């Protein structure tokens, strides 16, 4: 009895013994939620069952993209309508140019304070509620006759138009690793389609009827999305049970300043978004004036040119699934520089240049975003909503820069000054991507290391070999029971009981099985 008590005492004092809960403390099975918001029944086939998880196939992936299209469009309906707003509210171009900025500011507020809830609560009710609120706010946009009220409603609509940015990390969570970039590219293509279709629809409708009809259509489509999501979106449990809202916000801020890869992605995303937004916001003014003098309908139809980027989205995703994301980013950034240089030279001279820039910005912006997001999502699977929020807040900063700086430069100095700003921003992107190489250690801020392997599967094979070499050969463990306690021989060397406990904790299951049955029974009980 004294020997057994002595063993127990020593086990209690050891800092290397892992706690093992007794059998009667096994966690209970996860409760299956049957209602959204406490009163709305969830269809039985969509309820989360841990024993039969929902399958994330192509249909659900496309559903995510479809929903993203008609929700994100809220942010871009206003861009081809600025001239109509100016006439309807009786104000100058400078005053109505605040509207795109305000909707983007609201979007950023939603990313910061609402989208991070995706790491805290069940995402099905969160997504459905947000779409419903955004749709209801669009009703106000259709009927208001006061510019200040219209601006305020645009801000609020932007704040609740963050559903696509909850769907994106959800797709990354559900898709298998080898298809993650492809799944994300499909969702992002839906977002890109939303940007384009918003401009085309808004420009076409406003050519023949009042701009208010655009917002009638907007809230109708969003209510359709609410019903569709209710019928097809599976329920999933919360990811970080026990976390708090302010804890989530604090951890997001910490990630934004302590992860070199994420900081690099932010420094690339800001100018990338500024270039893209600058082009599309100032395009309305460019095509409305000489030498083009196109109608609102024709200006809106320019969004169709960007459909090429949507069509190429699956190919972009597949390429990124094969490549190390850094190399995909480098290719896209170099092409960004070339496209913006073409814009500086000829956007105000020949419409062919405008078409080339439309296609190039859509394709390579998407390539940059998918490759950067794929890379940073690998940092922490349980923090993807927060990581995504950091990236998207940086995109918002770029959108504000592109909208405000681009509009000011265009109205003051002309189209070439606005295009020159985009070229300068794309140069900053190139500096940021080249400052940190593809295979450097996680917490290295600047430099290159680890070679230049381009293929993702080869890098994984190399890492696996390095891990095997670092572990070395498996130790040979034998054991016997003595009156004084335990004696273990590890690779021919006798070790005392304190070392035995560490070997047992650090050993693999295969090593543990080499101990004799008597030796296992003689182990002290872990506390």
In a domain, 7, yes or no: no
Last residue of a domain, one of 370, 404, 434: 434
Reference 184, options 371, 40, 12; nearest CA is 371
Q: Decide if 480 contacts 519 (C-beta within 8 A).
A: yes
The pLDDT, as a whole number, for residue 29 is 46
Map residue 56 onto helix, strand or coil. coil
In a domain, 161, yes or no: yes
Same domain, 506 and 423: no
Same domain, 268 and 379: yes
Q: Decide if 141 contacts 157 (C-beta within 8 A).
A: yes
Domain count, the chain: 2
Last residue of a domain, one of 374, 406, 434: 434
In a domain, 386, yes or no: yes
Domain span at 210: 44-434
Residues 6+ apart with CB under 8 A from 211: 81, 84, 85, 88, 202, 205
Same domain, 404 and 481: no
Same domain, 96 and 237: yes
Same domain, 499 and 365: no
Residues 6+ apart with CB under 8 A from 169: 118, 377, 384, 385, 387, 388
In a domain, 459, yes or no: no
Q: Among all chains, which residue has been given the structure tokens 């590219």?
A: 185
Report the chain (527 residues): mean pLDDT per 10 consecutive residues.
45 40 44 73 77 75 87 88 86 82 86 84 90 93 89 93 88 77 80 81 85 92 92 82 83 89 93 90 83 78 73 73 82 91 86 87 85 85 83 84 86 88 92 88 84 68 61 53 48 46 42 43 44
In the structure encoding, which two tokens stand for residue 354, read together? 């405008």
In a domain, 444, yes or no: no
Map residue 493 onto helix, strand or coil. strand
Distance separating alpha carbons of residues 234 and 354, to the nearest angstrom: 42
Same domain, 371 and 502: no
Taking the CA atoms of 6, 12, 13 and 14 in sequence, report the sign of the dihedral they define: positive
Same domain, 389 and 523: no
Same domain, 404 and 503: no
Same domain, 501 and 412: no
In a domain, 457, yes or no: no
Same domain, 190 and 296: yes
Other C-beta atoms closer than 10 Å to the C-beta of 449 total 10
Same domain, 350 and 497: no
Q: For residue 260, what is the domain's CATH number?
A: 1.20.1250.20
Last residue of a domain, one of 383, 406, 434: 434
Same domain, 478 and 430: no
In a domain, 451, yes or no: no
Which H or E run includes 368?
helix 351-377
In a domain, 227, yes or no: yes
In the structure encoding, which two tokens stand for residue 69, read together? 């299209």
């Amino acid at each position: 009895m004294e020997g057994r008590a002595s063993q127990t005492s020593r086990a209690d004092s050891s800092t290397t013994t892992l706690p093992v809960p007794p059998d009667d403390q096994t966690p209970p099975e996860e409760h299956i939620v049957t209602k959204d918001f406490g009163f709305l029944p969830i269809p039985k086939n969509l309820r989360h069952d841990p024993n039969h998880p929902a399958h994330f196939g192509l249909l659900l992936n496309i559903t995510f993209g479809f929903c993203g299209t008609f929700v994100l469009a809220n942010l871009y309906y206003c861009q081809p309508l600025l001239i109509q707003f100016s006439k309807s509210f009786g104000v100058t171009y400078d005053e109505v140019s605040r509207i795109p900025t305000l909707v983007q500011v609201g979007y950023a507020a939603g990313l910061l304070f609402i989208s991070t809830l995706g790491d805290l609560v069940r995402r099905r009710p969160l997504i459905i509620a947000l779409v419903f609120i955004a749709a209801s706010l669009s009703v106000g946009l259709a009927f208001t006759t006061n510019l200040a009220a219209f601006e305020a409603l645009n801000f609020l609509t932007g704040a609740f138009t963050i559903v696509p940015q909850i769907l994106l990390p959800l797709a990354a969570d559900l898709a298998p690793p080898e298809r993650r970039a492809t799944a994300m590219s499909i969702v992002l293509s839906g977002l890109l389609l939303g940007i384009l279709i918003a401009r085309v629809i808004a420009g076409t409708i406003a050519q023949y009827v009042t701009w208010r009809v655009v917002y009638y259509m907007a809230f109708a489509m969003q209510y359709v999305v609410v019903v569709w999501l209710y019928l097809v979106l599976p329920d999933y449990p919360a990811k970080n049970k026990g976390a708090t809202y302010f804890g989530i916000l604090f951890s997001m801020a910490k990630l934004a300043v302590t992860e070199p890869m994420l900081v690099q992605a932010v420094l690339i995303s800001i100018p990338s978004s500024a270039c893209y937004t600058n082009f599309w916001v100032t395009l309305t003014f460019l095509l409305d004036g000489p030498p083009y003098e196109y109608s609102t309908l024709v200006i809106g139809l320019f969004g169709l040119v960007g459909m090429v980027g949507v069509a190429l989205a699956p190919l972009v995703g597949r390429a990124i699934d094969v490549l190390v994301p850094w190399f995909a980013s480098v290719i896209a950034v170099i092409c960004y520089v070339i496209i913006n240089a073409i814009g500086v030279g000829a956007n105000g001279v020949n419409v062919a240049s405008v078409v080339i820039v439309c296609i190039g910005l859509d394709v390579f912006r998407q390539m940059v975003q998918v490759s950067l997001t794929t890379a940073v999502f690998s940092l922490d699977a349980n923090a993807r909503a927060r990581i995504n929020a950091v990236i998207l807040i940086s995109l918002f900063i770029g959108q504000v820069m592109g909208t405000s700086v681009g509009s000011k430069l265009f109205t003051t100095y002309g189209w070439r000054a606005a295009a020159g700003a985009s070229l300068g921003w794309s140069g900053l992107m190139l500096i940021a991507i080249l400052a940190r190489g593809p295979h450097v250690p996680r917490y290295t801020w600047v430099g290159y290391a680890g070679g230049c392997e381009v293929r993702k599967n080869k890098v994984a094979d190399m890492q696996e070999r390095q891990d095997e070499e670092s572990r070395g050969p498996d130790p040979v463990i034998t054991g016997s029971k003595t009156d004084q306690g335990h004696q273990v021989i590890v690779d021919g060397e006798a070790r005392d009981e304190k070392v035995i406990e560490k070997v047992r904790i650090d050993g693999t299951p295969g090593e543990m099985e080499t101990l004799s049955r008597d030796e296992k029974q003689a182990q002290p009980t872990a506390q």
